[in-house]
Structure 1
Amino acid sequence: MTAALQQPASQNVARRMWQLFETFHAVTYFDPEARSAAESLGVEGFWGNYVAMRSAPLGAVGPDLVTAVFYGFHPDRIAATLPAVWESTTPDAVLAARLAGVDRALRRVWGESAAEDPDVRAAADLAWDAAQAADCAGRPLGAANRALPRPDEAHLALWQAATTLREHRGDGHIAALTVRRIHPVTAMLLKVGAGESEAEPLRLGRKWATFEWQAAELHAREQGLIDDAGRLTGTGAALHEAVEADTDSAAAGPWAQLGPDATAKLERLLMPLAGRVVAAGLLPEPNPIGLPLPGAATS
């Protein structure tokens, strides 16, 4: 039997596709085997692995650039890893470790035959086409991942394409936030207020001090975005949805280029693959990504 995600038909295609490919991209962060893949290179701890593996496509860059493109993180979180990590290893070595960790995680969740599965191969070909068609102007993380070579194994090619697409979307999301002058902490408060994530894990993970978080909460209440309980007001909900709508619009290009029939085929192929990740319990709900996890069903 195959686990399948139940997707709301009313959602637009860009958001539906994100929910699918983000689900299995995220094994990089939540699967213990995948997220610790770079430890043998001298990269230490959960956040050291996260920062090194996510930033490695950019090359051996410093903390200021990575803080800017990650957007939601306090500079101290990034500076704890960069640039020191590049004294003990290289971006190429970290990228190889990243793929090795994903390989182990996906083979465990999807089965040892994932690399030869014709459905995985078909999904990889379609997702790769979509990723290569993405307009990466102004999207540094999307562009850096798109420039990486295609892995030979189908499941890794699919994961790399998904990673390019999610970073392309993320770059567009940051543009939607910055054009509205939404501070990184305020952006997280909107996620919390919408019930997508929990406040304390976000604050601690991204290393914002309590006083910084509380100051942002006070400012958000003064702006009428959240109430005293931290829930979105009508104004806050409208702002949150406007940002998400612009994010979807900015992420629509790859699917327009791929075309509706091929996109629908890819969606059908991805649903059972994402469903297996959900069924394996790898992703917490709520999670810091704000990724909704539709219930898994068997078919």
Structure 2
Amino acid sequence: MTARDLWRRLEPIHDVVYFSPESRTAADAIGMRGYWMGYVAFRVAPLGPVGPAPVIAAFHGFPPSTITRALPDAWSYATPELALEARAAGTAEALRRLWGSDVDVTEAADLAWTAAQAADDPGRVLGAANRALQRPDDPVRALWQAATTLREHRGDGHVAVLVTRGIGPVHAHLLKLAAGGTDPDMLRRSRRWSDEQWAAAGADLRERGWTDDDGRLTDAGTAERDEIERLTDAAAVVPWEALGRERSERLAGLLDPLAAAVAGDLPAGNPVGLG
């Protein structure tokens, strides 16, 4: 059972915050102006009332204009504390719709929370901020929060890998598209880079020999992407080493039906490549 195996089970659970109508309703209810303000405010609320600069750096994949349209304005409509409560309420409501109102996820929440609390913080801005949040009493909320901590911990490590290998945000998106499984139009619309930026990054990837003229991965590009994923996995192992093989396998088994129920509700070809 690898770090990637656990991520594939936890990511769909986390992703309800981006794609469920309940989460959008929760964001609207606290005054967020549009989808992207809600997305940004919900995701960065654990950091407190931050401005755009550290968020642009931590997110990595979005153009600065997407973040500056959301921050700091979001905090004039709702405090980070209110945003945290709204995101927890919205995701729990969505998960209960998908899993059933009487679902018992106590054991899964306990195991995931144990792993999340063992995560190493250095260099993990979003992961550490989420790990510092108090455990909710509601097991559904606790499971979602643990999944989010582990997801952001892995994501922070992934960004570090990209930076060390000289891969910018648009390059990373194009490598993902070249590998397949993601809808190109959906990714381009959601990430909002300019046509010129997409073109420049594509030309650079071809110059590096990682993609061909059709934007598909070459052998060298496949090797590079495999190495990125290997290093990302290596950076994400600490929580799972702390949990141990037996408990990690038990958690995976508990998550299988939960993740499957959620994945069917996510849009196909979505930007995280799940659904």
SS, match of residue 102 in structure 1: helix
Structure 2 residue 240 is matched with structure 1 residue 286: no
Code of the residue aligned with 1:244 in structure 2: it is: E
CA–CA separation in structure 2 for the residues paired with 1:108 and 1:44: 25
What TM-score does the superposition give when structure 1 sets the normalisation length? 0.90
Instruction: Select which of 216, 221, 225 maps to 1:240.
Output: 225
CA–CA separation in structure 1 for the residues paired with 2:209 and 2:59: 27
Q: Who is 1:95 aligned against? A: 84
Asked whether the equivalents of residues 37 and 70 of structure 2 are also in contact (C-alpha less than 8 Å), the reply is yes
**Which runs of no fewer than 5 residues in structure 1 stay unpaired?**
1-11, 294-299
How far the C-alpha of 1:73 sits from its partner, in A, is 0.2
Superposed CA RMSD in Å reads: 1.1
Q: Who is 2:27 aligned against? A: 38
CA–CA separation in structure 1 for the residues paired with 2:218 and 2:183: 17
Asked whether the equivalents of residues 36 and 49 of structure 1 are also in contact (C-alpha less than 8 Å), the reply is no
Q: Who is 2:68 aligned against? A: 79
Structure 2 residue 220 is matched with structure 1 residue 231: no
What TM-score does the superposition give when structure 2 sets the normalisation length? 0.97
How far the C-alpha of 1:99 sits from its partner, in A, is 0.6
CA–CA separation in structure 2 for the residues paired with 1:48 and 1:252: 32
Code of the residue aligned with 2:255 in structure 1: it is: L
SS, match of residue 166 in structure 1: helix
CA–CA separation in structure 2 for the residues paired with 1:32 and 1:222: 42
Code of the residue aligned with 2:248 in structure 1: it is: T
Structure 2 residue 99 is matched with structure 1 residue 110: yes
Code of the residue aligned with 2:123 in structure 1: it is: G
Code of the residue aligned with 2:148 in structure 1: it is: T
Percent sequence identity over aligned pairs = 53
Asked whether the equivalents of residues 61 and 83 of structure 1 are also in contact (C-alpha less than 8 Å), the reply is yes
How far the C-alpha of 1:136 sits from its partner, in A, is 1.3
CA–CA separation in structure 2 for the residues paired with 1:20 and 1:182: 26
How far the C-alpha of 1:227 sits from its partner, in A, is 1.0
CA–CA separation in structure 1 for the residues paired with 2:24 and 2:211: 34
Asked whether the equivalents of residues 36 and 46 of structure 1 are also in contact (C-alpha less than 8 Å), the reply is no
Structure 2 residue 42 is matched with structure 1 residue 53: yes
SS, match of residue 42 in structure 1: coil
Aligned pairs for 1:1-299 (under 5 A) are: 13-114=2-103, 117=104, 120-278=105-263, 281-291=264-274, 293=275
Asked whether the equivalents of residues 121 and 154 of structure 1 are also in contact (C-alpha less than 8 Å), the reply is yes
Code of the residue aligned with 2:204 in structure 1: it is: H
CA distances 1:217-268 after superposition (whole Å, capped 9, x unpaired): 1111111111111111111111111000000111111110001111111111
CA distances 1:36-66 after superposition (whole Å, capped 9, x unpaired): 3121221022211111100111110011110
Code of the residue aligned with 2:65 in structure 1: it is: D
CA–CA separation in structure 1 for the residues paired with 2:24 and 2:144: 14
The size of the alignment, in residue pairs, is 275
How far the C-alpha of 1:35 sits from its partner, in A, is 2.9
How far the C-alpha of 1:198 sits from its partner, in A, is 2.6
SS, match of residue 112 in structure 1: coil
Structure of higher RCO (CA pairs closer than 8 Å, 6+ residues apart): 1
CA–CA separation in structure 1 for the residues paired with 2:185 and 2:261: 28
CA distances 1:83-132 after superposition (whole Å, capped 9, x unpaired): 01111210000000001101110111111112xx1xx1001000000000
